[in-house]
Amino acid sequence: MKGVTVMVQAEYEKWMNQKGLEEELLQELQGMDETAKRDAFYRSLEFGTGGMRGIIGAGTNRMNIYTIRKANVGFGTYLKNLYHDDVKRGVVIAHDNRNKSVEFAKESAKVLATFGITSYIFEALRPTPELSFAVRHLNAIGGIVVTASHNPPKYNGYKIYDEDGCQLVPKYADQVIALVDAVDDVFDIDVVDFNEAEQNGMITWIGEDIDKAYLDMVDTVQLRNDVPKIVDIVFTPLHGTSAMIGTKALQRNGYHVIPVEEQMVADPNFSTVKSPNPENKEAFEYAIRYGTKHNADILIATDPDADRLGVAVWHDGEYKLLTGNQTGAILVHYILHTREQQGTLPKQGMVYNTVVTSEFGATIAKAFGMGVKSTLTGFKFIGEQAKTIEATDTEFMFGYEESYGYVIKDFVRDKDSIQALLLISEVANVGKQTGKTLYDYLLFLYETYGYYVEDLVNIVLEGAVGEAKIKQIMATIRDNKPLQIGPYNVITVEDYLVGTRYIGDTTEDIDLPTSNVLKFLLDDGSWFVLRPSGTEPKLKIYIGVLGDSLAQSQTKNQQIKDIVLSIIERI
C-alpha cells in the first residue's frame, strides 16, 4: 500500500506542476484530500474492449482532455497501421449531451488530424446508432462516440467503432488497448489547432443529410405501416440525443406523440431524473404523469445516447414497465409471426442474444424454425455475427440483450433505440385495433411458450476499494463454486474467463472470447450469472427461471436471488 501511495503522490505532483494546466483542473487538484487523490491517481483510466468511461475531472483515472488525447493516440496509431494512406476515408465522431462531450469530441479530431485522419463531426448531439449507421454510409474507416450512456451526470466516456459501424471486438480492441497503454506522457501529445484543421479540410461538419438517410432506413423496420394509427405514445429522451430523431421517426409515420417537454432539453445534469436509465421505473416518473394526464397507451424512454429503450404499457389501471427480456420476446414473436403471415419468413434466419439473456425469445425463435446464437455480453459481438452472415443465404432477423438493447435490421451494427421505438409502437398500434395491450401480448406469450422470469441485481462498489472487492468476490466464487442453491443442484458451471464448461467431472471448451463471467445452470432449468460491469463500478447478478405459472416463477426467482446474495455477503 505504501508503494501505491508514493506512486499516487508522484503522479499528483506531476499534474500540479504541469505548466498551462487548465484552471478548472488545477483548482480541483488543489482541493483534493488523500482519498480523492488516491481515487484520481491510483491507476490510469482503463481503456477496455468497450472503450473507456469514468468520472470527469483531474487525474489519470478521470475523463479529461489528456486521457481523451491518450485514447485517440492509441486509436489513431491503430488506424494508421491498418489503413495506411487509406486513412483519408476518415472517422465519424458523435457525442451526447453530457458535460465536456463537445470538448472531448473536438479533442479527438485534433489528435486524429496529426495522423492525417479526417474527422466527420456531427454538428450537434446525435444517437449512438446513427453514428454506427454513418460510418458505413460515409465509407469511413471508423467511428467515435463521446458518451457515458446512462451513467450519472459526473461521468463521461469514449467508444470506438470499426469500418462496419461495430464496436471493436476483443482481438482488435486489444491492439488499441496496447497502443493506448504505450503512451507514457499524456502532456506530450501532439494536437493541431481545431480551426486550422477545419480550414484545411481535416474536419468536416455533418448533420441533416445523415439524419435523412438514417431515418429513411429506420422506416424500413415497419411491417404493418398500413394499419391506421390509433395508439397514443408518450415519449421521453431523458434529456438525451433522441429528442429530435426519435420524435421525428414516430411523427413522420403518422403516430400521435406526446413529448415529455421537461426532458426534451439536452440537460447534462439530468435535473429531472435520479438516473437517466430506462431500465429503472424511476426514470419514467415524468412520463407516467404525462401518460396519466393524456390517457396514453404506452410510454417510451430512451437513454442519453439513445441505444437503449424502455417501454411501459397501460394495463389494469397502471403503467407496467416491461423488462428488456420481455420487450425482446414480444419483438421476436411479432417479427417472425407477421413475416410468416406475409409469406416473407426466410428458410434460414438468425436471432442473436447474449449469455445473460432470457431463453424466452430463443424458445420463440426456434418455434418458428430460426437459428439462435448467444454471444458474450456486449452488442459488439452481435454486430460481429451480423457481419459473418451478410454474404450468405442466412438473414439477420433480430438481435437483442437483456439490458434494453435491440436491433431489428443490421444497417446499424449496435443496439438501436430508434428502430426499436418505431417497431414497438407498431406492435402496440396493431394490438389496439382489437383492444389488446402489449401486456396482453406478453401474457399470451407466457401461456404459449412458458413462464420465463428474470432478474438483475446490481451491487455498486465504487473506487479502488470497490474494485478490489469485486475481484475478491469473483475469485472466491470461482475457487469455491457452489454445488447447490437451496433445493436445486448446480449441474453445469460455465467459466468464460478460462473458456471452460464444467459438467460434473467432465469439461468442455467454450468457443467464445474470454470474459470475467461465471454462469451456473441448475437442475430445474434455472440459472444465474455473476459478471463485473465493464463500464460501471458494479457487480451484476443475472437470474433466469422457468416455472409452471407466473407466480411460481417469481417465487423461485426470489429464492435463488436471496441464496446467491447470502453467498456474496459472506465473502
Q: For residues 478 and 488, what is the distance between their CA atoms, to the nearest angstrom?
A: 19
- Cβ neighbors of 501 (< 8 A, separation 6 or more) are 492, 493, 494, 495, 507, 508, 509, 510
Q: How far apart are CA 559 and CA 571, in angstroms?
A: 20
Residue 289: DSSP 8-state: H
C-alpha cell at 57: 475531472
Active site residue 149: yes
Find out whether 325 and 361 touch, Cβ atoms under 8 Å.
yes
Q: Counting Cβ atoms within 10 Å, is residue 251 exposed (0-12), middle (13-18) or buried (19+)?
A: middle
Report residue 420: phi and psi, to 5°: -65, -40
Q: Which residues contact 554 (CB under 8 A, 6 or more apart)?
A: 453
Q: How many CB atoms lie within 10 A of CB 28?
A: 19
Bridge partners, residue 456, by sequence: 542
Question: Which residue from 310, 400, 393, 388 is spatially nearest to 362, judged by alpha carbons?
Answer: 400
3-class DSSP assignment, residue 147: coil
Spatial separation of the C-alpha atoms in residues 165 and 354, rounded to whole Å: 19
Q: Which residue in 149, 358, 526, 553 is the catalytic one? A: 149
Q: Is 84 exposed, middle or buried (0-12, 13-18, 19+ CB in 10 A)?
A: exposed
What torsion, rounded to 10 degrees, do the Cα atoms 290, 291, 292, 296 define?
140
Provide the annotated active-site residues: 149
